[in-house]
């Protein structure tokens, strides 16, 4: 396969050119071409799934000169890539587990995204409070964030440590009782679906084709080629296949190698009217019992809270949100950010919720690779199964 990578200047010029038109007519024409075999040569690469992983892989491959086809069973960013916490961050919490390399890599990717997608990835000051009896006391937060600054090579605004009064001046909604102070530090937020769409548009600019609403029902090998069967019986031939089907990655798609590859876990968000929780900046909340943190993020007229982390089995698209999930979130967050006025009313707890996904506790190397929003072109090491996401 050709592997000619364009230089940065050529890439930058290409990004300024509008991508080829892409609407129902173009998608129909592509589907017809595939169906009638008008284009008999096999694709260099077939990417199954148009989430951020598929988008990043397709963009990278197209930039290397490969003929790429991306196929999604639903719409672009239909899966977890439009249902994340919308954070582009280095994973502060991974410092606690000594995942220095992971955090360094994530911060490097954040820097890269600031550069190549500055209109979509915005730096924001996060407030990480510590209360009496918290698992992470203020001194630990301070040490952690000092390391975080160093791992970002001091290219972001350095953290600040605040006493209780200064913390409440910044965020008056925080419960005063037991408050020891907080650390204010920089991370970033993004519009996840738009980042995915933009990455796919960039892939298309470099020649990739994208077909939506065409689920792959089977993948098999025929001689040197891979053959994907689409739901309408159409066959697609490719020299290589990358399965980026997120939580849907299954035995059906991967054959025997996909057996028990993933164990699912459900993570939900709750969206409130901003008036119910009018925060001034994102706040990080420590879970009281588990080793995990949650985020409360103001987003225009809304504030969203997330996430839970519950083991799940079944179809990821039907995971739903239970009252227990919502109660758990409100309980954990209400501990330091009680409801305002008449109380919080969830505007939406996304209908069919989507599971986080991760590999079950198998050999380390195999279980700790996954993708996240920041990994636009490559996968990223993650935590093990029970605490999965590097950037969520
Ligand atoms: C609750 C939660 C919060 C998160 N928060 C963050 C965060 O703040 N920051 C961050 O960086 N990451 C976060 N993540 C992680 C991030 O969302 C995921 O790592 C990322 O979206 C995974 O993208 P993906 O492309 O691999 O999968 P997905 O986005 O799920 O894409 C898979 C795609 O495959 C398609 N597909 C499935 N089966 C088939 C088939 N048979 N044929 C064709 N297409 C198929 C689906 O339609 C879907 O579009 C969070 C995840 C969760 C669940």
On average, the pLDDT of the chain sits at 83
Residue of minimum CA distance from atom 25 in ligand 1: 51
Residue 251 binned pLDDT confidence (cut-offs 50, 70, 90): confident
User: pLDDT tens digit string along 36-47?
Assistant: 988 888 999 999
What pLDDT is stored for residue 390 in this prediction? 23
Average pLDDT over residues 136-157: 95
Q: How sure is the predictor about 362, in pLDDT bands with cuts at 50, 70 and 90?
A: very low
Q: Are residues 183 and 316 in the same domain?
A: yes
CB distance 85 to ligand 1 below 6 Å: yes
* Sign of the alpha-carbon dihedral angle for 157, 198, 242, 312: positive
Specify the pLDDT at position 319: 81
Residues 268 and 248 in one domain: no
- Is the sign of the CA dihedral 308, 309, 310, 313 positive or negative? positive
Q: For ligand 1, say whether the CB of 374 is within 6 Å of any of its atoms.
A: yes
Residue 97: inside a domain: no
Q: Whose CA is nearest to atom 1 of ligand 1?
A: 267
pLDDT of residue 8: 53
Please state the atom number of ligand 1 nearest to the C-alpha of residue 370. Answer: 19
* Domain-embedded: residue 222: yes
- Examine the domain organization and report whether 17 and 35 are in the same domain: yes
- Ligand 1 within 6 A of CB of 329: no
The range of the structural domain enclosing residue 232 comes to 8-80+193-258
User: Is the CB of 307 inside a 6 Å radius of any atom of ligand 1?
Assistant: yes
Of all residues in the chain, the percent with pLDDT exceeding 90 is 59
In a domain, 18, yes or no: yes
For residue 87, being part of any structural domain is answered with no
Question: What is the CA(76)–ligand 1 centre distance, in A?
Answer: 11
Q: Is 358 touching ligand 1 by the criterion CB < 6 Å? A: no
Is 267 a domain residue? Answer: yes
Q: Give the pTM.
A: 0.86
Residue 146 buriedness (CB in 10 A; 0-12 / 13-18 / 19+): middle
Question: What integer is the mean pLDDT of 62-90?
Answer: 95
82 pocket-lining for ligand 1 (C-beta < 6 Å) = no
- Atom 15 (ligand 1): residue with closest C-alpha? 372
- 153 alpha-carbon distance from chain centroid: 23
Confidence class for position 14, pLDDT limits 50, 70, 90? low
Decide the pairing of beta strands 225-230 and 293-299.
Answer: unpaired
Q: How many domains does the chain have?
A: 2
Ligand 1 contact, 258 CB (< 6 A): no
Task: Name the pLDDT band for 105 (thresholds 50, 70, 90).
Answer: very high
Q: What is the largest CA-CA distance in the chain?
A: 70
DSSP 199-268: HHHHHHHTT-EEE-S--EEEEEEETTEEEEEETTS-EEEEEEEEE--GGG--HHHHGGGGTT--EEEE--
Task: Please work out whether the CB of residue 249 comes within 6 Å of at least one atom of ligand 1.
Answer: no
| 217 found inside a domain | yes
Task: Clarify whether residues 268 and 160 are in a common domain.
Answer: yes
What are the DSSP calls for 28-42, one per residue? HHHHHHHHHTSS-SP
Closest atom, ligand 1, to C-alpha of 78: 49
Top pLDDT among 346 and 231 is at 231
Same domain membership, residue 357 and residue 285: yes
Helix (H) or strand (E) holding 185: strand 179-190
What average pLDDT does the segment 356-369 reach?
32
Of 204, 234, 258, which residue constitutes the final position of a domain? 258
The ligand 1 atom at the shortest distance from the C-alpha of residue 356 is 53
Residues 358 and 290 in one domain: yes
Q: Is the CB of 353 under 6 A from ligand 1?
A: no
Which residue in 2, 151, 68 sits closest to 377, CA to CA?
68
Ligand 1 centroid distance, CA of 114 (Å): 21
Q: Are residues 291 and 165 in the same domain?
A: yes
For ligand 1, is residue 388 a contact (CB within 6 Å)?
no
Please, which pLDDT band fits residue 16 given cuts at 50, 70 and 90? Answer: low
If asked whether residues 244 and 312 sit together in one domain, one would say no
* Statement to judge: residues 39 and 61 lie in one domain: yes
**What are 271-297's pLDDT values in tens digits?**
999 998 999 999 999 988 788 899 999
Residues 165 and 229 reside in one and the same domain: no
Q: What is the DSSP letter of 91?
A: -
Distance from Cα 296 to the centre of ligand 1, integer Å: 21
What would the pLDDT profile of 377-390 be if each residue is shown by its tens digit? Answer: 222 223 322 222 22
Q: Ligand 1 centroid vs 183 CA: distance in angstroms?
A: 30
User: For residue range 297-351, what is the model confidence (pLDDT) as tens digits?
Assistant: 999 999 999 888 888 888 888 887 888 888 888 889 999 998 654 445 555 544 4
Q: What is the predicted pLDDT for the residue at 282?
A: 97
Q: What is the CATH number of the domain that holds 21?
A: 3.50.50.60
- Give the per-residue pLDDT at 4: 43
**Using a 6 Å cutoff on CB, does residue 47 contact ligand 1?**
no
Long-range contacts of 148-155 (CB under 8 A, 24+ apart): 148/90, 148/92, 148/95, 148/103, 148/107, 148/185, 149/185, 151/90, 151/100, 151/103, 151/104, 151/107, 152/90, 152/107, 152/110, 152/111, 153/107, 155/111
More confident residue, 367 or 52: 52
Ligand 1 atom, smallest distance to 49 CA? 34
Rama region for 360: left / alpha / beta (φ>0; ψ in -120 to 50; rest):
beta
Q: Is residue 202 part of a domain?
A: yes
Question: What is the pLDDT, as a whole number, of residue 371?
Answer: 33
Over range 13-19, report the average pLDDT: 66
Residue 389 lies in a domain: no
Tell me what pLDDT residue 347 has.
Answer: 57
One domain, residues 292 and 351: yes
- CATH code, domain with 160: 3.30.9.10
Cβ–ligand 1 contact at 391 (below 6 Å)? yes
177-221 pLDDT, tens digit each = 999 999 999 999 999 999 999 999 999 999 999 999 999 999 999
Q: How much of the chain, in percent, has pLDDT values that exceed 70? A: 82
Residues 218 and 269 in one domain: no
């Amino acid at each position: 396969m050709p592997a000619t990578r364009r230089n940065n200047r050529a890439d930058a010029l290409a990004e300024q050119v509008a991508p080829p038109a892409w609407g129902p007519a173009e998608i129909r024409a592509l589907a017809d071409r595939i169906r009638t075999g008008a284009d008999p040569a096999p694709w260099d690469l077939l990417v199954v799934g148009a989430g951020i992983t598929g988008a990043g892989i397709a963009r990278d491959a197209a930039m290397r000169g490969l003929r790429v086809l991306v196929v999604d069973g639903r719409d672009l960013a239909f899966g977890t890539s439009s249902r994340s916490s919308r954070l582009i961050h280095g994973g502060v919490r991974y410092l606690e587990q000594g995942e220095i390399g992971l955090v360094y890599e994530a911060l490097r990717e954040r820097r890269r995204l600031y550069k190549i997608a500055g209109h979509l990835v915005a730096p924001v000051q996060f407030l990480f409070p510590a209360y009496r009896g918290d698992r992470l006391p203020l001194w630990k937060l301070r040490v952690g964030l000092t390391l975080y600054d160093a791992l970002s090579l001091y290219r972001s605004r350095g953290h600040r440590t605040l006493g209780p009064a200064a913390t409440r001046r910044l965020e008056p909604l925080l419960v005063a009782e037991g408050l020891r102070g907080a650390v204010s530090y920089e991370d970033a937020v993004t519009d996840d679906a738009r980042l995915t769409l933009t990455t796919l548009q960039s892939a298309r600019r470099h020649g990739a084709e994208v077909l939506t609403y065409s689920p792959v029902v089977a993948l098999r090998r025929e001689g040197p080629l891979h053959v994907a069967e689409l739901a309408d019986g159409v066959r697609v031939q490719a020299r290589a296949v990358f399965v980026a089907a997120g939580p849907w990655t299954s035995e059906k798609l991967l054959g025997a190698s996909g057996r028990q590859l993933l164990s699912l876990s459900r993570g939900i968000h709750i969206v409130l009217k901003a008036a119910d929780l009018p925060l001034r900046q994102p706040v990080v909340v420590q879970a009281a019992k588990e080793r995990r943190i949650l985020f409360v993020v103001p987003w225009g007229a809304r504030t969203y809270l997330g996430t839970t982390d519950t083991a799940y089995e079944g179809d990821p698209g039907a995971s739903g949100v239970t009252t227990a999930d919502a109660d758990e979130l409100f309980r954990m967050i209400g501990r330091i950010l009680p409801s305002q006025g008449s109380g919080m009313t969830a505007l939406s707890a996304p209908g069919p919720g989507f599971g986080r996904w991760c590999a079950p506790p198998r050999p380390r190397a195999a279980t700790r690779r996954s993708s996240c929003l920041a990994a636009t072109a490559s996968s990223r090491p993650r935590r093990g199964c029970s605490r999965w996401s590097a950037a969520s």
